[in-house]
């Protein structure tokens, strides 16, 4: 029997809490995805309210090398990245700051300048919060609210056998600095969601190619942001979708700061988008992406397959399971 959080792990704890906590009316997406989604009012087709909370803790998410501005930026950017994972539009934020009494006022002002800069970049208003005294570690908690159209919302659970697997940017080595200065992929996720909504409309009206053939749907079936590592976060998609994944080792984009495939698979805090889409539309998707986001690479790294778990295919044709290497708050330390 697992009696400690280290034995249970972060995923195990979430699963335990999910079984015990009430869900309530109007909840469309509850515990276990990047954001919660709830329906407000009676309109069945109306926009959904997205909710997310996230915290950064001194000594866990940042250390003394981080500037106060970077701490504030990261604290706000992390939940913004979760909104990107569900193609949502963030609107309002509440900030809880646990501060030591001896902290310089200028330090706190710079933290809030970082918070405000990240919020302002994505049209988020900081509308309130709380300040409390802490005798130990300094931390920040952000509660973020926003909205999304039901048809545009992406989840972890939509991957289908035969889908291609894509990732933005390059992976690994974020501890060298990227984890403090990353830009959430809000714009990119919303652009992908527009294609998905259009694909649904095309199917409804029976849209055809000029040659009379059925146009392959260009849509995102499942999406997540990479916070705990490629292998671990792809494992979330596979588990929630009831599928497996096969990655091509040579295709995985490795960041220069990582320098190795294992780090690209497991370092985490990349905050890039990881998603699946129909393989038949992969070429068209990549071409459209290059036109829209020429400075951000989009790489196809594998396929969704039948079965369970994630396997890695190497250059010699060997295949091995890679499990869910990555970050777990109760089992690892950064």
Q: How far apart are CA 325 and CA 247, in angstroms?
A: 14
Predicted pLDDT at 329: 54
DSSP state of 66: S
- Taking alpha carbons only, the member of 305, 303, 332, 262 closest to residue 11 is 332
Q: Are 190 and 89 in contact (CB under 8 A)?
A: yes
Q: Are residues 122 and 190 in the same domain?
A: no
Q: Are residues 172 and 231 in the same domain?
A: yes
pTM confidence score: 0.89
Q: Directed axis angle between helix 68-85 and helix 105-121, to 10°?
A: 30
Range of the domain at 245: 156-321
Q: Are residues 74 and 190 in the same domain?
A: no
Q: Are residues 94 and 181 in the same domain?
A: no
Q: Are residues 176 and 103 in the same domain?
A: no
Final residue of a structural domain among 127, 148, 169: 148
Predicted pLDDT at 331: 53
Q: Are residues 71 and 110 in the same domain?
A: yes
Q: Are residues 169 and 75 in the same domain?
A: no
Cα–Cα distances in angstroms (integers) from residue 57 to residues 72, 109, 263, 329, 334, in the given order: 11, 18, 23, 12, 12
For the chain, what is the radius of gyration of the CA atoms?
20
Final residue of a structural domain among 102, 119, 148: 148
What CATH number is given to the structural domain containing 54? Answer: 3.30.1330.10
* Helix/strand/coil for 48: strand
Burial environment of residue 72 by CB neighbours within 10 A (0 to 12, 13 to 18, 19 or more): buried
Q: Are 171 and 91 in contact (CB under 8 A)?
A: no
Give the pLDDT of the chain (334 residues) as one tens digit per residue. Answer: 677 877 777 767 767 777 777 777 889 998 888 899 999 866 556 899 999 999 999 999 999 999 999 999 999 999 999 999 999 999 999 999 999 999 999 999 999 999 999 999 999 999 999 999 999 999 999 999 999 999 999 999 999 999 999 999 999 999 999 999 999 999 999 999 987 777 655 555 454 544 445 666 679 999 999 999 999 999 999 999 999 999 999 999 999 999 999 999 999 999 999 999 999 999 999 999 999 999 999 999 999 999 999 999 998 888 999 976 655 554 555 4
Any domain includes 51 = yes
Predicted pLDDT at 221: 96
Taking CB atoms within 8 Å and a gap of at least 24, the contacts of 312-315 are 312/246, 312/247, 312/248, 312/249, 312/265, 313/246, 313/247, 313/248, 313/249, 314/249, 314/250, 315/249, 315/250
């Amino acid at each position: 029997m697992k009696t400690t959080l280290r034995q249970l792990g972060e995923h195990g704890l979430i699963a335990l809490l999910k079984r015990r906590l009430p869900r309530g009316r109007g909840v469309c997406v509850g515990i276990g995805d990047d954001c919660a989604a709830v329906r407000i009012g009676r309109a069945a087709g109306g926009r959904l309210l997205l909710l997310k909370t996230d915290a950064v803790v001194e000594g866990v998410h940042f250390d003394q090398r981080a500037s106060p501005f970077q701490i504030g930026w990261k604290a706000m950017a992390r939940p913004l990245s979760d909104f990107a994972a569900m193609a949502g539009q963030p609107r309002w934020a509440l900030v809880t700051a646990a501060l030591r009494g001896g902290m310089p006022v200028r330090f706190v002002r710079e933290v809030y300048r970082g918070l405000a800069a990240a919020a302002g970049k994505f049209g988020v208003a900081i509308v309130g919060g709380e300040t409390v005294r802490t005798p130990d570690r300094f931390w920040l908690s952000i509660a973020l609210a926003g909205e999304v159209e039901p048809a545009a919302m992406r989840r972890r659970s939509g991957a289908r056998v035969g889908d291609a697997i894509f990732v933005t940017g390059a992976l690994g080595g974020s501890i060298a600095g990227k984890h403090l200065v990353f830009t959430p992929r809000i714009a990119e996720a919303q652009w992908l969601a527009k294609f998905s909504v259009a694909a649904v409309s095309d199917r409804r009206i029976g849209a055809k190619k000029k040659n009379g053939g059925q146009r392959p749907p260009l849509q995102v079936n499942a999406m997540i942001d990479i916070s705990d590592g490629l292998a671990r976060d792809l494992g979330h998609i596979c588990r929630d979708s009831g599928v497996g994944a096969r990655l091509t080792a040579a295709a995985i984009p490795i960041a220069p700061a990582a320098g190795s495939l294992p780090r690209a698979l497991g370092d985490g805090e990349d905050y890039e988008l990881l998603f699946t889409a129909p393989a038949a539309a992969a070429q068209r998707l990549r071409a459209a992406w290059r036109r829209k986001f020429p400075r951000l690479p989009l790489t196809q790294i594998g396929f969704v397959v039948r079965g369970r778990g994630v396997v890695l295919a190497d250059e010699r044709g060997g295949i091995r399971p890679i499990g869910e290497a990555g970050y777990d708050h109760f089992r690892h330390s950064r």
